[in-house]
Amino acid sequence: MTPAAGVTEHVGRTARAVADTVGDVFPRWLSAFGFEGVGLRGGRFVSTGLDQVRFRLTGLRYVTDLAVSGTMTWDRATGEIDAEVTFTGAAAGRLSLSWNDYQPVAAAVVTGTVDGEPVDLAIPAP
């Protein structure tokens, strides 16, 4: 699978950075021993629930120049993950992401906009 087929390099790299930011929440949540945590390079998240986990992301930074905010749900019974996020910094826009965490070599479906350019692609799940 080509990570950003049919989109510009800027859009593909941005989509990947947003997906990686969202994906980085899971190991941080699992090691947080609570319902709150921080991003690698800033921001924070708050969660509720244990089987159906809901996250509120605020200014999360996996990379220094992109802040991601929004919501995400993780159904721990089925592995389904859905996120609706906005981001600002080196790029701005809104993306919806979904994938199944239990599926080997899963693909994340990413739709929305990056700097006004439409996005509709599949990338390796974070």
pLDDT tens, residue by residue, 75-110: 999 999 999 999 999 999 999 999 999 999 999 999
pLDDT higher than 70, residue 5? no
- The string of pLDDT tens digits covering residues 57-79 is 999 999 999 999 999 999 999 99
Q: Specify the pLDDT at position 2.
A: 45
| Contact predicate 8/113, CB 8 Å | no
- Yes or no: say if 75 and 92 are a contact pair by the CB < 8 Å rule: no
pLDDT at 4: 54
Q: Please give the Cα distance from 77 to 93 (Å, whole number).
A: 31
* Predicted TM-score (pTM) of this structure: 0.92
Is the confidence at residue 6, as pLDDT, over 70? no
Position 114 scores a pLDDT of 97
Q: Is 8 left (phi over 0), alpha (psi -120 to 50) or beta?
A: beta
The average confidence (pLDDT) of the chain is: 93
Q: How far is CA 100 from the centre of its chain?
A: 13
Distance from chain centroid for Cα 78: 18
Spatial contact of 73 and 81, defined as CB atoms under 8 Å apart:
yes
pLDDT at 1: 37
